[in-house]
Chains A and B, each alone.
Chain A
Amino acid sequence: MRLYSSEELLNRELCDIMAQEKHRLGLVSLDAPLISNLSVLSNIALIKQYHGGLTVPEAEDIAEMRLKKLHLEDIAAKRNSVLLEVQRFCAMILRAVMVEDAMVVIDRPFKIMPDLDDTHFIREVLTSVDDLFRECHIFDYLWNEERYTGGMIHGA
């Protein structure tokens, strides 16, 4: 968890880590939304199709298994605009962990899910997929520190 006192500072640090780790970066951010003309399944499968050279059925099988892991099979065919905030977050996490040897970077999670009071849900999601990524970093503002009480997440 990395907390910053200003937006400028946070953005600078985020840009630095994105530049340093671009080959294994799995970004979860509103600045990297799901592709709107693809279903959730295709959004998740796209990474393995493009970088792993997998065929559409192969990549979609993996994506489907990952959705099942979070009990989200029912959103596979849905598109970004109809997702609930928490579903969108989970889809972005699953897309991020499709990156080989992923370093998951979650950029201001409470901006993605403003209704959350604490990190309980985020921790739960990350624990469910903790075998799929190498490390995870959360970037947020210092004034959200209270919402992060109760220990930190795997690798962060």
Chain B
Amino acid sequence: MISIENVSKTYHTRLGQRTILDNISFKLARGRNIGILGRNGAGKSTLIRLIAGAERPTSGVIRRDMSVSWPLAFGGAFQTHLTGLDNLKFVCRVYGVDYKPLIPFVEDFTELGVYFREPVMHYSAGMTTRLAFALSMAIEFDCFLIDEAMVVGDQRFHERCHIELFQKRKDRAFILVTHDANSIRMYCESACVLRNGKLIPFATVDEAFEFYEANPN
């Protein structure tokens, strides 16, 4: 179970305090999933960072009784001077997992070839994305945080991510955060809309979809 209880997040800007998330609460049980719809700047990524634990809420409590991934396929966590392999080792050490059995999977999934042992700074954008996704899959979590990662990349990469995440790991919980209502309809069993800092729950995904389409800003 993950429970988000009365969480608010305020940032300081030159024009004073800006409340990005305003008293948000929801729960997610093991094996369940939820989609959160929001327009650009609605605070989707902030919410994901709070749930991931990368930042602290200004007020409120986040409880995690299952293991929660870092934001899926997040490329920023790379040390670009390190090779793909070094990055795999680093992530494995942080999570206490042996990296050696994972090398074949990561090599196969990323299709990096010799570049797997070259510094990440020499990678193309596509290569970096593939590595980021593979590293997220290398560590097994109870709950995955997905921040529009599925939208990037070409069709083939898309399909392979789909297989890894939604087929091989369909017993896991996930939180999918996106502006794209269709992917929520495709993958999620429940949905909320994040709007003006408030999280609006809906009984069905279709209702959330209709509300989202009817309120373009």
Do A and B make up one complex?
A: no
Chain B positions near chain A (C-beta within 8 angstroms): none
